[in-house]
Chain A
Amino acid sequence: MKHVMIYKRFERFWHWSQALLIVFMLITGFEIHGSYSLLGFGPAARLHSIAAWTLIALWVFAIFWHFTTGEWRQYLPTTDKLGAVIRYYLVGTFTGESHPFRKTTRAKHNPLQRLAYLAFKLLISPVIWISGLAYLFYSDVAELGYLDLRIIAFVHTAAAYAMLAFFIAHVYMATMGKTPMALVKPMITGYEEVEA
């Protein structure tokens, strides 16, 4: 076993600030949607927009980082051990089996994580960004004459529900290490014991 830096400083900064922004945007977003009244529509909408631009800036840096470091390869999907991992979460975790996936610096996500994060990055996020920008600039989009706000709002809200679903599942799965905090700690300190 080796004590290695598995999540680099930028990666951790990106992860946690993205997490905060997404939670904040879920809260303000569903207020804009009318689900509840918390900050008031005006402040919620204004803060939602500010958070959106912040997150866009963060993403620009994150995408740059992923490509320059080659870390984007961490999300390439694989079927290797995918069945075993799913079986572990459904059965093995209750019978005391050990996790079938061994983390390394070159493959730090298990096959199920890879799929989930890839879906997050290539499916949920683009949909939420594109529909969100169309929503933000609706007055200009409307001049084009073929996109109704009803449709834009529907797509954006649907993506928000997907984001909420991802968030709940992600937070729960993060507690499934050897101890409830075992997986969260490396995301904070960056270091984890991995096999050499």
Chain B
Amino acid sequence: MLLIGLAFAPTPALAAAAETLENASSTADHDKFDELAGPFDTGPAVTHACLSCHTEAANQVRQSTHWTWEFAHPQTGQMLGKRHVINSFCGTVASNEPRCTSCHVGYDWTDTRDDPPVAQTQVDCLVCHDTTGEYKKFPTAAGHPNYEPMEWPKGSGNVRKPPDLADIARKVGAPSRANCGACHFYGGGGDGVKHGDLDSSLVEPPLELDVHMSPDGLDFTCATCHNASGHQVPGSRYAVKARDTAGIDIPGRGDQSRASCESCHDTRPHTKDKLNDHTRKVACQTCHVPAFARGGVATKMWWDWSTAGRLDDEGNPIEILDEHGHISYTSQKGDFRYAENVVPEYRWFDGQVRYTLRSDRLNTESEPVRINRVEGSYEDPGSRIWPFKVMRGKQPYDTRNRTLLVSHVFGKDDTALWTNFDWNKALEAGTEFANQPYSGEFGFIETQMYWPITHMVAPAEQALRCDDCHARQGRLAGLGGFYMPGRDRSVLLDLVGWSLALLILAGAVLHAGLRIRARSAKGR
């Protein structure tokens, strides 16, 4: 009886034991370390203290994409990474460094034409390991927090106090959702702007939003799946594992990366065989992430740079809000469209993402320009149907050289677009900085960019239903290359088949009519 009671209702004693165990999962209490007594004047000073014990940490971080912002794609050979690509948000990191590199996992990377600073103390430990929520990189300080009280946003009257670095350092721990989210939730210039499936609603998500990350569910951190080893974090958006055939990863089995659903759920996780058959061609996310931007934070779906620079009659910048209170126009950035609960677009995806790089010549005849393109097909056994956020908009390009252009948007100078509202100057400065050929003639071209959707996994009851896709005009109506029941048919066969059935029916009715007439004639 006692055993049964224990099994069904954890006693306060057990719960307390569990809590102690959780706290005890680290063998070190950083509060007791003399090295962290402080005070610390700067971030690098904290890092210096960290490295006195964690001797290899900085070297490990400096080998990661979090540090290099560079990714040599093993399949396509393209040199990608934030340092090199153009995206359809603010364009490029190059020429806008102190703003963009505020999310670099280090300090003082003020010029991405050069490699990040070499000193080991330039690695930022706290941005990932702060557990207090007090450590914030200042948006325009190239990775540093503010060491003096500073106002942000400029002109808002909000003053950010400098963080208590020593206190923060004594409370470090494993990265939480908020740590990763501090950069990854705010990419593209604001909360939820970039990815659509990553925004601040995932810091404490309800179960309906994300079964894995919700405290009411499994309470996973990002690192539960992106299980870093030696500061190398698995799960790349440039080279995605579109179909993980290795299945469950346990020591000695699988690829030891948990950044795929199959890593825990295996390749045939449903109780119904027909559903399991789908996993061969359909990514888990396609059915289990029914929509993105589901947590109450809107994501940006359209960004038209061509309209930027319009000023009011007094020559002041304009800001217009849409009916939901989202910005729909600013003089700095042009026109936006935000959306919530967005139904993804679906594509065959083999995991390879190819980019249109700064040096690539555009085919201006076939708009829109694909900032990146996802590859894959029904025939390819490594491809599956994946959900995507497709970001669309208009971006500056060189009408003569036919290349996308580096634009200098941020900076306290007389060329940055956001302060001078002059495209000519912004593009000249940006291209000159990035050493990109520029004819001096520019226009705006429509672009689109693919963002694979994988987070915000809904409870099973909210997964897609069969007829969300198996219908004439379902979610996969536009996806070619294969036959899908309920969607596809032979129109000719249907015509012949129904005609045959109708003819026989008509024949029967006619025959019956004649019989009745014959019989009544006889009766008379």
Partner of A32, one of B483, B485, B493, B512: B485
Measured between C-beta atoms, what is the minimum distance from B163 to chain A in Å?
Answer: 53
Q: Hey, which chain A residues are within 8 Å of B515, CB to CB?
A: 93-94, 176
Residue B500 is within 8 A (CB to CB) of chain A in the complex: yes
Q: Are A175 and B512 in contact (CB under 8 A)?
A: yes
Partner of A165, one of B472, B494, B500: B500
**Which residues of B466-499 are within 8 A (CB) of A?**
466-467, 470-472, 482-483, 485-490, 493-494, 496-498
Interface string of A3-46 (1 = CB under 8 A from B): 00000000000000000000000000000111101001110011
Partner of A34, one of B472, B518, B522: B472
Q: Hey, which chain A residues are within 8 Å of B9, CB to CB?
A: none
Q: Are B466 and A45 in contact (CB under 8 A)?
A: yes
Interface string of A41-60 (1 = CB under 8 A from B): 11001100100000000000
Q: Hey, which chain B residues are within 8 Å of A175, CB to CB?
A: 512
Residue B154 is within 8 A (CB to CB) of chain A in the complex: no
Q: Are A148 and B486 in contact (CB under 8 A)?
A: no
Measured between C-beta atoms, what is the minimum distance from A79 to chain B in Å?
Answer: 24
Q: Hey, which chain B residues are within 8 Å of A95, CB to CB?
A: 518
Residue B118 is within 8 A (CB to CB) of chain A in the complex: no
Interface string of A150-184 (1 = CB under 8 A from B): 10011001101100110011001001100000000
> Known contacts A41-B470, A96-B522, A139-B280: does B485 contact A165 (CB below 8 Å)?
no
Q: Are A154 and B493 in contact (CB under 8 A)?
A: yes
Interface pick from B45-53, B388-396, B416-424, B503-511: B503-511
Q: Are A40 and B465 in contact (CB under 8 A)?
A: yes
Q: How large is the interface on B (under 10, 10 to 19, 20 to 34, 35 or more residues)?
A: 20 to 34
> Known contacts A94-B515, A169-B508: does B465 contact A157 (CB below 8 Å)?
no
Q: Are B466 and A149 in contact (CB under 8 A)?
A: no
Residue B277 is within 8 A (CB to CB) of chain A in the complex: yes
Residue B264 is within 8 A (CB to CB) of chain A in the complex: no
Q: Hey, which chain B residues are within 8 Å of A157, CB to CB?
A: 489-490, 493-494, 497
Q: Hey, which chain A residues are within 8 Å of B320, CB to CB?
A: none
In the complex, what residue of chain B is closest to A168 when comparing beta carbons? B504
Residue B28 is within 8 A (CB to CB) of chain A in the complex: no
Q: State the 5 A-B residue pairs at the shortest beta-carbon distance, nearest first.
A: A161-B497, A42-B466, A172-B508, A139-B277, A41-B467
Enumerate chain A interface residues (CB-CB to B < 8 A): 32-35, 37, 40-42, 45-46, 49, 89, 93-96, 135, 138-139, 148-150, 153-154, 157-158, 160-161, 164-165, 168-169, 172, 175-176
Interchain residue pairs with CB less than 8 A apart (22): A34-B489, A37-B467, A41-B466, A41-B467, A41-B485, A42-B465, A42-B466, A42-B470, A45-B470, A89-B511, A94-B514, A96-B522, A149-B483, A150-B483, A157-B490, A157-B494, A158-B493, A158-B497, A161-B500, A161-B501, A169-B508, A172-B511
